[in-house]
Amino acid sequence: MRRSNLPAELNRFVGRAAEQAALTALLETSRLVTVVGVGGVGKTRLALRAAAGAQNRYGEGVRLAELAPLRDPDLVAYALVEALGLTDHTPKAPREVLLDHLAERRMLLVVDGFEHLVESCAPLVRELLAHAPGLTVLAVGRRPLRVAGEAVFPLAPMDEADAVALLAERAAEAGAPVVPVNRAASLVPGTGTVLAPEPGAAAVRELCRRLDGIPLALELAAGRLPLLSVEQMLHRLDDRFRLLTDGERGALPRHQTLRTAIGWSHELCTPEERLLWARLSVFAGPFDLEAVEYVCGSRELPPERILDRLGGLLAQSLVSREDTPAGPAYRLLDTVAAYGAEWLAALGDTERMRRRHRDWYMGLATWCELEWFSPRQPEVAARTEAALPNLRAALDVCLEFPDDAHLAQHLAGTLWFAWVGCGRLSEGRHWLERALALESGHEEARLKALWVLGYVAVLQGDGTAAVAALHECGERARSTGNALAEAYATHRMGCLALLSDDLPRAESLIGRALDSYRELGELNSNVLMGQVEVAMARAFRGDLEGAVAICREVREVCEERGEQWTRAYALYVLAYSAWTRDAFAEARELLTECVSINHTFRDLVGLVLAIELLALVTVSEGDPAEAAVLQGAAVPVWDTVGIRLFGSEAFDGPRALCEQRAAEALGTEAFDHAVREGRCLPLDAVVERALAGRRDPALAGPADPTAPRPFRTARSAGVPGTRKPAGSPTGKGGEAAG
């Protein structure tokens, strides 16, 4: 895990030296510090600055959880799990995952934008602090959490000097004329010469006072300085103050000032910019240009003009730009978005725009599902991660309206690759179960959600839930003649049998499903994974040669199609085969690629299996100490995956043999010490060690020909359904089917 997930600063941090020092000092004495203040006062920026400066005090570093995009209180714990970079495949509640992970770690957790979720956030923070003595929480919001031991840090607006400096700096960044900043007449030391006040400095100070020193208001003003002089802005702002003061007598003065500044910026926008601003408020988190053009475009706001209007909002600091793994993205500040949402509601267009937003992200999910089986697979993973806040918002909309229950089931099922392939099983199950609790009246959507829920439950080790979902899916599919959904249900029942060591049943069920896939023209990652699962069953039953033949075929199809996720599992089986032939260098090369792919996709099941086998290769190369470290490193990963090696004797073979050989070579005490060392390694360090662990072949000891093999090697007849599947008649793979 990286020591920090804090975003890089996009421009220079200005002022606030005293506040930063005070907040840093408070973090040294309090385990819960909450920075509170009016919207736009700079709470988040100061907190992130203080957190970055303090991270060396925390062994596990600093993690940021942004809660502002969330609307569902039940997702708070999931957001914290994601912020910590955890991937948990077990049926454990996310709260339990957090408690287990943080129990013995020294970490600073920054929780930003919690105020609308305080009823669920406060009890969770209280429980985490009670059970994790090394945890410090820096919360950022408009009100305190009201948790025992909380140290509240009220953040006031900037003083005059800092406010003037901020205005001048941001104006320069916007390309405005130089803003005068000297405060008054001054004496040049040692000369007796008095410098006159810089022309215009008084107007600048007056503008900063009128804006109450609120950083967001100052930055909005700076964005207008390329077009207006300070004096012109003061005149316009005077009018705006008078207008809004009469209409909002109940508002807090500083909140009123901020709304004045935002409203004034709103008035200075063109009609199309104002309309775009209102419509952008339906997005949660970052969004890209394509999404804006679809969601916000209309006859009044033609899509071809949106780029220019978005640029106008960007130039006025109303929209910020950020770089994500999926490419450039944009974001509305929370306060700005809230103002836009009020205008959208006044236009009576909120529900329509939320549905358009939902439609776009349903389309994106469908595109990602199809492209998952393509060379764009890493891009799909990155785009899905970047779009996750908006996908959650789309699911919320589907669940909010009873007539859209089938869309909720369809979207939750379509995102199977995000839940399974990108390590989000627990959150996927949350959405799938909520969607399936509704009666949609659309059988195809329900069937897809059922088999995906069954798949998720299988990988979580929850056999009872898996059987219930897959049995219902199979029965309903047969009664409605949906052969493809029935094949998926059969396939996943076979997967459950594989993990339960019922190998003949696994081979039979998955083989039957593969026959159906071939007859229906279904070819995608699920189909290829089914072939690998048959190969595993064959290997466990002693037919290693047959297993290798299948996996070589799968690897060819994956390379032809650019598929990486399933390919990693095929490489695992091929690496084991290489180990049995004492081809340790080949096995290591295959496994390092396997580790790299699984880590990229956050697939902990594939990753930990590869690490266990790599440990066996390492001890066979003559390095039992490193093998024991790798074995130890696998233990905490299994804790997040579920029952170690699924409770399967077959999957446990490589681990058991490695442990036996390493313990014999090192002795019990040295072996246990190395295992403990491995258990303390963060996941990223384990992956880095595995990828950098190539050994000089001259140092590798010979394999022990008398050592027992975890698998037997034998020849056997071909298994039905293991031939190369036919291409989808659509040419698009068929991921959206079922």
For every residue of 708-728, DSSP letters joined together read PPSS-----PPPTT-SPPPPP
Mean pLDDT computed over every residue of the chain: 83
Decide which of 126 and 92 is more confident.
Answer: 126
Assess contact for 208 and 216: CB atoms under 8 A: no
pLDDT reported for residue 710: 46
pLDDT reported for residue 573: 94
pLDDT at 243 over 80: no
pLDDT at 202 over 60: yes
Which burial class, exposed, middle or buried, applies to 203 when counting CB atoms under 10 A from its CB (0-12, 13-18, 19+)?
Answer: middle
Band of residue 231 on the pLDDT scale cut at 50, 70, 90: confident
Name which of 598, 599, 571 is nearest 586 in CA terms. Answer: 571
pLDDT at 551 over 50: yes
Q: Is 276 helix (H, G, I), strand (E, B) or coil?
A: helix
pLDDT at 185 over 70: no
pLDDT at 696 over 50: no
pLDDT reported for residue 452: 97
pLDDT reported for residue 179: 66
pLDDT reported for residue 195: 44
Name which of 666, 662, 660, 659 is nearest 635 in CA terms. Answer: 659
pLDDT at 705 over 60: no
> What is the arithmetic mean of pLDDT over 227-237?
76
pLDDT tens for residues 12-45? 888 888 898 999 999 888 999 999 887 778 888 8
pLDDT reported for residue 82: 86
Band of residue 178 on the pLDDT scale cut at 50, 70, 90: low
pLDDT tens for residues 268-304? 788 999 999 999 999 998 999 999 999 999 999 999 9
pLDDT at 144 over 90: no
Q: At what angle do helices 76-83 and 94-102 cross, to 10 degrees?
A: 40
pLDDT at 728 over 50: no
Measured distance CA(503)–CA(653) in Å, rounded? 15
Measured distance CA(477)–CA(738) in Å, rounded? 10
Longest dimension (CA), the chain: 103
Q: Is 532 helix (H, G, I), strand (E, B) or coil?
A: helix
Band of residue 88 on the pLDDT scale cut at 50, 70, 90: low
Q: Which residues contact 680 (CB under 8 A, 6 or more apart)?
A: none
Question: Which DSSP letter does residue 287 get?
Answer: B
Other C-beta atoms closer than 10 Å to the C-beta of 603 total 24
Phi then psi for residue 722, to 5 deg, are -100, 10
Q: Which of 63-67, 242-246, 439-443, 679-683 has the weakest average pLDDT? A: 242-246
Q: Which residues contact 250 (CB under 8 A, 6 or more apart)?
A: none
Q: Which of 56-65, 261-270, 421-430, 705-714 has the weakest average pLDDT? A: 705-714
Name which of 28, 71, 67 is nearest 51 in CA terms. Answer: 28
> Does the model's pTM come out above 0.85?
no
Measured distance CA(665)–CA(660) in Å, rounded? 9
Band of residue 529 on the pLDDT scale cut at 50, 70, 90: very high
Pinpoint the alpha helices (H) of 481-602: 483-499, 503-520, 525-541, 544-561, 565-580, 584-600
